Amino acid sequence: MKNLILSLCLTLFFGGCVLGQDYRLVGKFPAPQIKLTAIDGKQVNTQDFRGKIVVYNLWFVGCPPCMEEIPKLNEIVDEFQGKDVVFLGVSSSSKNDIDGFLKKNPFKYQIVPNSAALMLGSFGEVAGDGSLKLGFPTHVVVNREGFIEVKMSGIKGVEAVRQELRKQFAGK
């Protein structure tokens, strides 16, 4: 089973490299195209974000570093308010767990619950044994053309997000 998953991932990756001329030209990985349902019931389709920067925070309720960084992430949302940027908090936690968590810990990202498979399939990395792995929290910044500029796990990713957004909006 692990070999099948690894083969599928490699096929998709190399297929994208061969077919995706832009990927080779800019030297970046294209972001996955995904459709999600946010905690408020609104549909989120990343196709609708073309021309905007998208910032993902992959997290779950009960993750100490995830909880520690939320105030800093909220500051970033405030700093870039009114700019063409979308902030998505993609979580493996259930809607009920997140609802309870958000009552005590406001998080200004648009929250998407129940997304463990999406997080692993879209942003996980293949480990040496063929399994998929993903550190928490993970931060991903996608540029206006749909390519990943930053992907970093851990609390240090907060500053990487801030710096990338400042770079993307410099002179704008």
Note the pLDDT of residue 78: 98
Note the pLDDT of residue 49: 92
Q: Return the minimum-mean-pLDDT range out of 2-16, 69-83, 94-108, 125-139.
A: 2-16
Q: Which residue has the higher pLDDT, 119 or 92?
A: 92
What is the domain partition of the chain in residue ranges? 27-169
Closest C-alpha to 54, from 33, 70, 78: 33
Report residue 159 as tokens: 């500053």
Whether residue 22 is predicted with pLDDT greater than 80 in this model: the reply is: no
Read off the pLDDT band of 161 (50, 70, 90).
Answer: very high
Q: What is the pLDDT of residues 97-152, one digit of tens each?
A: 999 999 999 999 999 999 988 888 888 888 888 887 888 999 999 999 999 999 99
Percent of the chain with pLDDT over 70: 83
Note the pLDDT of residue 172: 61
Reported pTM? 0.81
Q: Return the minimum-mean-pLDDT range out of 3-7, 57-61, 152-156.
A: 3-7
What's the per-residue H, E or C state across 18-84?
A: HHCHHHHHHCCCECCCCEEECCCCCEEEHHHHCCCEEEEEEECCCCHHHHHHHHHHHHHHHHCCCCC
CATH class name, domain 27-169 = alpha beta
Q: Which residue has the higher pLDDT, 30 or 110?
A: 110
Note the pLDDT of residue 171: 67
**CB contact at 8 A, 67 and 105:** yes
Note the pLDDT of residue 133: 84
Residue 68, CB-side half-sphere exposure with 13 Å CA sphere: 10
Q: What is the pLDDT of residues 49-70, one digit of tens each?
A: 989 999 999 999 999 999 999 9
